[in-house]
Structure 1
């Protein structure tokens, strides 16, 4: 009875599906192909007529297109589809000869250059305003072609296991065995994971982008994966297959031009460059449709080297002469389930060897975009808050936005996986992953700071420690924290504790009180409001620096995100400070009490954020970005010092036809009198032992400058980097390139005699030039070579030269 109902349901569903029309052409002569077979899951839907056309109905996401004498292809199901098939015989298609030469077609490259050059103008964000909605579905499942076979295999396997003699097992092993069988059964009737979400996108030139998650539901989880809300592929970015920096990974060939909905489109086929054999050189990874009038992207399909391992298809549509993404379909392999079957062939030397039956697991992502409107009425309140707002997360209104109905298998996913998620506490396990994105290691209600486990500087040597805070699982509003550390070289403990109290859950807004007993490098640039990536990059700045001071005290602060772009931090502190090196300030000694207030601002107008239960998450960090800090030392509440300390930093990155340029400008000013640690160190990274300089990059450091040598009370510095637009492939899948770097700093110190220790002021322009190899030998590291030039250069090559290592993901 159930099978009969399923058949009836499927028949009704197929007949209410929207009708699709596909036209199949031959590449080169653009003639229609008669008799091309269109199928879904190996089921024939029909064959094209003499005009190369077939109209059909299906609930499949993709269909296979095959014709005698042509390479087979796939097409994402749409209302109107056109597919071009290339002939198998290389003698009948001149393009095949070009392919064997292993060179891209110059015409294809010229078109792609125009696509890149016109991308900004073709982007919807060149309009004054717009809005649209989307429905997205993300799932983890076995490949559709394998589901029926998997079901039969599992049933047979379970029946076979029942006939085997029962083994004596421990309770734990017996439990694992039962759970393994349950999971195998589960996969036969439902997906392993399903996530639906409906969103509204708003944009205006004045207020930027706003994304409202109208509703979403995740199988097996009590709450959505906020950190993954921003997942998207080609909606607002040039596809990786045609980016200028990736051109060396592919070969491109202009094969044809076709009309789609009355518009002429160029058809460019491409394949991966590592296809070395002549036969494989005739195979394509995908194709690109480019509108001939605007050079906007109409469609792109890209397949992995093995087509079964993944693919992505994106389709755009013109609205107001701009190209909006209308449909996307992505599939990529994520591991496989392997089962031991019958014993291997009797002739095998290893009698215990067993054959493996494998079923691949795939991530499927589909997205439909609809309800496009431009221009729209723009209200400031509609753009308030962070870039992404979650309006609803229980799935109760998803029916209003679904562009296709859930399959029986998908419905079963919610029913079955929800119970599995509750049983195995999937929320808790997933939070470990989301914590790592922010640099934290989550263990239940405790977050450990990933940077603090092990550090190194020349004063403490190896610094071992841990920093932990209680997260939102302890309390949504109150978060106590503490840390400790021990320096192997100075043989001293450091520690601190604090508590943060939120005033709202809608944005970052909290009061904080803390106690600390620690050491810090003299003259460090202010790092308040720096994110995890910046702190990692600057963590090696004191590798060769031993000019440290001790500070013990209390601090009260308040932090608030005034807008999505502007953050403020206000604080007051009272501490005892003491140099840990031979130092005397104005003949007053090396110990002082300090009371100071401080205000720090961060402005990042183009960065995009979302508020999660664990705090704000910046899912897209864009430039420009500005920081400003003002600290005021006061002779009150027992303070010995009166000074004003200002520091600022601004940075920007932009792309032109001659490459990608990054600029960072920063500076500081101290007025009044204060010990050297309230002045500014010039951030030398080099060894002072006369050895070859090898160091790790830092955000503001100089590879060739001796560490702890130069101090100023006023300075200005710059960091300029330019990526040469020459990209090449070395090893692996990474693309390598070269950066030219120029760093400089200059300033002065008003009363150098006040500071009695071995140092120098830097009152001329210090410069170093560098050359960085990005993704060196295909690795995730950049290797840089730097040389000191100008006033501070010496006649000795080794003193001017330095080698520097940097993780590529840290950026410029």
Structure 2
């Protein structure tokens, strides 16, 4: 009888330990997939470990954020990195305070001294995005320095609607020779006081707790995001007054991840005294070199592969991207390459390009088109991409319209 009880307890302990190990393993894999190495009180952020771009060269450092074991009401985050080509140290420090658990309301204070790509747009409501390898970053050369002091609030209005707002004071300094013409003269550096308000809506989103105890989100698409930005003149010595309205929607058609279509629509309009740093590009990803093989690099996730860097800037624009993922080729149980068909379209314009001194760029008012395909997961997550530029912005030399690159897709 005692032996039977002992065996039952032993079996229960083994099952319990196995379940706990499974949960810990799932949490670790999910953490790594999100770009974290979790420890007891602090999660190290893999995004800052090592990167490369044309301005900084190798960029390396360390960063992270406290986790729930440290505190469920307070988060402390930060990072420090160094660029070996520009010989400059960048950093950010911040802390978040939970104001309401039920509505997931947080207040965040932060101070950042870093670089940002000129012409890029960041939505406040974007979830944390991590890639082991960031393709576009390798080729970017147009950055501006910014020192940003910000206070932000995050609030979950409902399970399907999130809101974020931020007020920041920014000191902007382009790393390239640039001047913006105003009624008071030409500005080479400028101060901006910005207020942002963003909403993200996912009408069919539903969440539940899985067997591992981790939150599982389903039916997240379509995902609709809107953001309004206002720069106030003469507020905290701000130099320029302008406003921006940005919109993005992402929709996926098909329930099987190995055979689906993805549609992404992005649009934006800016009015007022808008410097080049805060205009729009269409996420180009083509290096300014002569031959196809010299331009051979890494294809991005949602970038225009045949559009050259700094070729176009706009104060109003729209892009439409369509991807169709074909059923993987079942060569063997472990070797299943997948083809993706891609078409991209962009249109835009700039009212007063003469205000932007020492830079030259074109207009997208005729409409830019490219199409191609990817064959992913050919070897160790690597694949190949071929894209062709046609239509109104087709170039005289055939080779200049072609982008041949490799892709990288790795999932945990």
TM-score tier by shorter-chain length is: 0.7 to 0.9
Find the counterpart in structure 2 of residue 735 from structure 1: 336
Secondary structure class of the residue paired with 1:704: strand
1:682 paired residue among 282, 287, 294: 282
1:711 paired residue among 295, 300, 313: 313
Say yes or no: does 1:775 pair with 2:373. no
Deviation at 1:724, TM superposition (A): 4.1
Residues 719, 671 of structure 1: CA spacing in aligned structure 2 closer, same or farther, 3 A cutoff?
same
**8 A contact 2:35–2:131 mirrored in 1:** no
Find the counterpart in structure 2 of residue 541 from structure 1: 136
Say yes or no: does 1:643 pair with 2:259. no
2:81 paired residue among 476, 485, 497: 485
Secondary structure class of the residue paired with 2:48: coil
**8 A contact 1:478–1:500 mirrored in 2:** yes
Residues 410, 616 of structure 1: CA spacing in aligned structure 2 closer, same or farther, 3 A cutoff?
closer
**8 A contact 1:457–1:540 mirrored in 2:** no
The aligned length equals 400
Q: Unaligned regions of 5+ residues in structure 2, if any?
A: none
Residues 634, 774 of structure 1: CA spacing in aligned structure 2 closer, same or farther, 3 A cutoff?
same
Deviation string 1:704-759 (CA, Å, 9 cap, x unpaired) is: 1111221110001010122345x422355243332221111011000000001233
Find the counterpart in structure 2 of residue 529 from structure 1: 125
**8 A contact 2:310–2:361 mirrored in 1:** no
Residues 795, 559 of structure 1: CA spacing in aligned structure 2 closer, same or farther, 3 A cutoff?
same
Say yes or no: does 1:560 pair with 2:155. yes
Residues 507, 452 of structure 1: CA spacing in aligned structure 2 closer, same or farther, 3 A cutoff?
farther
CA distance in 1, matches of 2:371, 2:197: 34
Q: Unaligned regions of 5+ residues in structure 1, if any?
A: 7-188, 191-406
Say yes or no: does 1:652 pair with 2:251. yes
What aligned pairs does 1:109-508 form with structure 2 within 5 A after superposition? Answer: 410-413=11-14, 417=17, 432-506=28-102, 508=104
CA distance in 1, matches of 2:297, 2:204: 32
Deviation at 1:444, TM superposition (A): 2.1
Deviation string 1:31-52 (CA, Å, 9 cap, x unpaired) is: xxxxxxxxxxxxxxxxxxxxxx
1:569 paired residue among 149, 153, 164: 164
Secondary structure class of the residue paired with 1:650: strand
CA distance in 1, matches of 2:373, 2:355: 39
**8 A contact 1:634–1:643 mirrored in 2:** yes
Deviation string 1:344-395 (CA, Å, 9 cap, x unpaired) is: xxxxxxxxxxxxxxxxxxxxxxxxxxxxxxxxxxxxxxxxxxxxxxxxxxxx
The worse-fitting range, judged by mean Cα deviation, of 796-805 and 512-521 is 796-805
What do you get for the CA RMSD once the two structures are aligned? Answer: 3.1
CA distance in 2, matches of 1:474, 1:619: 25
**8 A contact 1:520–1:549 mirrored in 2:** yes
2:146 paired residue among 551, 564, 568: 551
Deviation string 1:684-711 (CA, Å, 9 cap, x unpaired) is: 1111122433333334311111112211
**8 A contact 1:452–1:466 mirrored in 2:** yes
Deviation string 1:237-295 (CA, Å, 9 cap, x unpaired) is: xxxxxxxxxxxxxxxxxxxxxxxxxxxxxxxxxxxxxxxxxxxxxxxxxxxxxxxxxxx
TM-score of the two chains, using structure 1 as the length reference: 0.46
**8 A contact 1:457–1:545 mirrored in 2:** yes
CA distance in 2, matches of 1:537, 1:719: 23
Deviation at 1:804, TM superposition (A): 3.3
Deviation at 1:468, TM superposition (A): 1.7
CA distance in 2, matches of 1:744, 1:718: 5
Deviation at 1:662, TM superposition (A): 1.6
Deviation string 1:660-701 (CA, Å, 9 cap, x unpaired) is: 322111111001112101111222111112243333333431
CA distance in 2, matches of 1:685, 1:537: 18
Find the counterpart in structure 1 of residue 187 from structure 2: 589
Secondary structure class of the residue paired with 2:108: strand
Say yes or no: does 1:667 pair with 2:267. yes
CA distance in 2, matches of 1:542, 1:411: 51
**8 A contact 2:98–2:107 mirrored in 1:** yes
CA distance in 1, matches of 2:26, 2:376: 33
**8 A contact 2:374–2:407 mirrored in 1:** no
Deviation string 1:2-53 (CA, Å, 9 cap, x unpaired) is: 46x67xxxxxxxxxxxxxxxxxxxxxxxxxxxxxxxxxxxxxxxxxxxxxxx
Residues 617, 594 of structure 1: CA spacing in aligned structure 2 closer, same or farther, 3 A cutoff?
farther
Residues 457, 744 of structure 1: CA spacing in aligned structure 2 closer, same or farther, 3 A cutoff?
same
**8 A contact 1:500–1:513 mirrored in 2:** yes
Deviation at 1:552, TM superposition (A): 0.6
What aligned pairs does 1:82-97 form with structure 2 within 5 A after superposition? Answer: none
Residues 709, 538 of structure 1: CA spacing in aligned structure 2 closer, same or farther, 3 A cutoff?
farther
Find the counterpart in structure 1 of residue 297 from structure 2: 695
**8 A contact 2:345–2:368 mirrored in 1:** yes
Deviation at 1:581, TM superposition (A): 0.2
Find the counterpart in structure 2 of residue 634 from structure 1: 232
Secondary structure class of the residue paired with 1:512: strand
Secondary structure class of the residue paired with 1:475: coil
Deviation at 1:783, TM superposition (A): 2.2
CA distance in 2, matches of 1:508, 1:741: 37
**8 A contact 2:123–2:227 mirrored in 1:** no
Find the counterpart in structure 1 of residue 395 from structure 2: 794
